[in-house]
C-alpha cells in the first residue's frame, strides 16, 4: 500500500509532510473501502441466508422439511413436492387468483387516479397545494389497522363485504398517497421545457403530454405500478378482515396457519416472497425516487 502511494506522488516535488499526509489518507481510504466491502457482504449474508433457508425448505420433499437436523439447499434433495402440496391445498389456487385480481385492480385504479394528481403537483403552483401534499403525507402515515375495521363495518352494511372488488377499493386507498407522491417525482424529473418546446412547435398541451412526456415517464409509472402490485400482494391485515369466502393468498395462509403443517407454511412463505425477489430487482433504481419524495 505504501509503495503505491509513493510511486504516485514521486514525480512532483513535495515536502515530506504533505507526502506523509497523502500516504496516510490513501491508506485510510483503502482500509475504509475494504471495511465497507466487509460490512456490505456481512449485511448481504444477513439478508440472504434466511432466504436461502426458506428456499431450500420450499424446494424439497415434505419428509425432508420435517427431518431434523436439517440440511441446507445444495445438500438436500431438490423436489417440487412441497410446493405442489402447498399449491394443491384447499383455497390456495382461488386465493392466488383473488390476490392477482385485487392487485391488478389496485394498480390500475391507483395509477389512473394518482397520475393526474401527480402531474398537477409537479407542474402547477396553486393555492392549497401544500395542504394537499401534507394531507397526502398524513394519509400515507395512517395505519392500515385503523382503516380496516370501520371499512369492514361499512362494507357489511352496504352489502359489498367479502368481495375482491371492495378489497381492491381499500388497497387503492392505501396505495394512493404513495403513488401520487412517486408519480409527482417522476413527472418532475421530466423538464417542463420539453413540453413547452413541443407546444411552441404547434402541438396542443394534450399532444405534448401524449407524445413527449408520456413516453419518458412510462418506465417510472411502470415502477410505481409494480410497487403498488407488491403492496397489495403483501397486504394481510385488511385482506383478512374484509373477506371470508374470497380470501387472498396471504389471508388464506394466515387464517389456516394454526391448523397447517410446516411444509405448507414454509412453501407458502417462499411463494409469497417470489414477487418481491423479482420485482424489487427491476424497480431498485426508482426506490429513492419513491421514498426520497416522502422526506421532502
Site for another protein, residues 277 to 296, rule: CB under 8 A: 277, 279-281, 284, 287-288, 290-292, 294-296
What HEC string does the chain produce?
A: CHHHHHHHHCCCCCCHHHHHHHHHHHHHHHHHHHHHHHHHHHHHHHHHHHHHHHHHHHCCCHHHHHCCCCCCHHHCCCCCHHHHHHHCCCCHHHHHHHHHHHHHHHHHHHHHHHHHHHHHHHHCCCCCHHHHHHHHHHHHHCCHHHHHHHHHHHHHHHCCCCCHHHHHHHHHHHHHHHHHHHHHHHHHCCCHHHHHHHHHCCCCHHHHHHHHHHHHHHHHHHHHHHHHHHHHHHCCHHHHHHCCCCCCHHHHHHHCCCCCCHHHHHHHHHHHHHHHHHHHHHHHHHHHHHHHHHCC
Question: Exposure pattern of 181-208 as b/e (b: 16+ CB <10 Å)?
Answer: bbbbbbbbebeeeebeebeeeebeeeeb
Residues 38-67 binding another protein (CB under 8 A) are 39-40, 43-44, 46-48, 50-51, 53-54, 57, 66-67
Q: Which is nearer to another protein, 8 or 32 (CB)?
A: 32
> Which listed range, 73-81, 87-95, 191-199, 212-220, lies at the site for another protein (CB under 8 A)?
191-199
Q: Which of residues 238-277 bind another protein (CB under 8 A)?
A: 240-241, 250, 253-254, 257-258, 262, 265-266, 268-270, 272-273, 275-277
* 126 grid coordinates: 396553486
Provide, rounded to whole angstroms, the least separation between the CB of residue 215 and another protein. Answer: 19
Within 13-42, the residues that bind another protein by CB under 8 A are: 25, 32-33, 36-37, 39-40
- In this chain, which of 20, 191, 207, 218 binds another protein, going by CB under 8 A? 191
**Residue 246 or residue 265: which is nearer to another protein going by CB?**
265
Q: Match 409509472 to its residue by C-alpha cell.
A: 221
* Site track 80-119 with another protein (rule: CB under 8 A), x = hit: --------------------------------xxx-xx-x
Which is nearer to another protein, 220 or 250 (by Cβ)? 250
End-to-end CA distance of the chain: 42
- The nearest distance, CB 129 to another protein, in angstroms, is 7
Site for another protein in 124-183 (CB under 8 A): 124-127, 129, 132, 135-136, 139-154, 169-170, 172-173, 176-177, 180
Q: What gap in Å lies between CA 202 and CA 185, rounded to an integer?
A: 27
In the complex with another protein, which residue's Cβ is closer, 53 or 85?
Answer: 53
The least distance separating another protein from the CB of residue 6, rounded to whole angstroms, comes to: 20
With CB under 8 A as the rule, give the number of residues binding another protein: 106
Minimum Å gap between C-beta 167 and another protein is 12
Residues from 219 through 238 that contact another protein (CB under 8 A)? 230, 233-237
Pick between residue 101 and residue 209 the one whose CB is nearest to another protein.
209
Nearer to another protein, 1 or 206 (CB): 206
Amino acid at each position: 500500500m505504501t509503495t503505491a502511494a509513493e510511486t504516485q506522488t514521486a514525480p512532483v516535488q513535495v515536502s515530506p509532510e504533505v507526502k506523509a499526509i497523502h500516504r496516510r489518507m490513501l491508506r485510510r481510504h483503502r482500509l475504509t473501502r475494504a471495511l465497507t466491502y466487509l460490512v456490505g457482504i456481512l449485511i448481504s449474508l444477513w439478508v440472504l441466508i434466511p432466504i436461502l433457508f426458506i428456499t431450500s425448505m420450499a424446494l424439497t420433499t415434505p419428509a425432508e422439511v420435517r427431518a431434523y437436523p436439517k440440511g441446507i439447499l445444495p445438500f438436500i434433495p431438490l423436489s417440487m413436492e412441497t410446493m405442489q402440496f402447498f399449491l394443491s391445498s384447499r383455497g390456495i389456487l382461488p386465493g392466488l387468483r383473488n390476490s392477482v385480481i385485487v392487485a391488478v385492480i389496485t394498480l390500475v385504479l391507483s395509477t389512473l387516479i394518482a397520475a393526474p394528481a401527480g402531474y398537477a403537483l409537479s407542474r402547477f403552483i396553486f393555492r392549497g397545494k401544500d395542504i394537499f401534499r401534507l394531507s397526502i403525507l398524513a394519509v400515507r402515515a395512517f395505519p392500515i389497522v385503523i382503516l380496516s375495521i370501520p371499512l369492514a363495518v361499512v362494507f357489511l352494511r352496504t352489502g359489498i363485504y367479502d368481495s375482491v372488488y371492495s378489497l381492491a377499493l381499500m388497497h387503492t386507498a392505501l396505495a394512493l398517497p404513495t403513488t401520487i407522491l412517486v408519480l409527482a417525482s417522476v413527472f418532475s424529473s421530466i423538464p417542463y421545457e420539453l413540453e413547452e418546446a413541443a407546444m411552441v412547435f404547434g402541438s396542443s398541451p394534450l399532444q405534448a403530454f401524449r407524445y413527449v412526456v408520456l413516453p419518458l415517464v412510462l418506465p417510472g409509472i411502470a415502477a410505481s405500478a409494480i410497487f403498488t402490485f407488491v403492496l397489495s400482494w403483501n397486504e394481510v391485515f385488511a385482506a383478512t378482515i374484509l373477506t371470508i369466502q374470497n380470501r387472498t393468498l396471504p389471508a388464506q395462509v394466515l387464517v389456516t396457519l394454526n391448523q397447517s403443517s410446516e411444509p405448507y407454511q414454509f412453501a407458502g412463505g417462499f411463494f409469497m416472497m417470489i414477487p418481491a425477489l423479482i420485482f424489487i430487482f427491476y424497480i431498485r433504481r426508482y426506490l429513492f425516487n419513491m421514498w426520497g419524495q416522502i422526506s421532502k
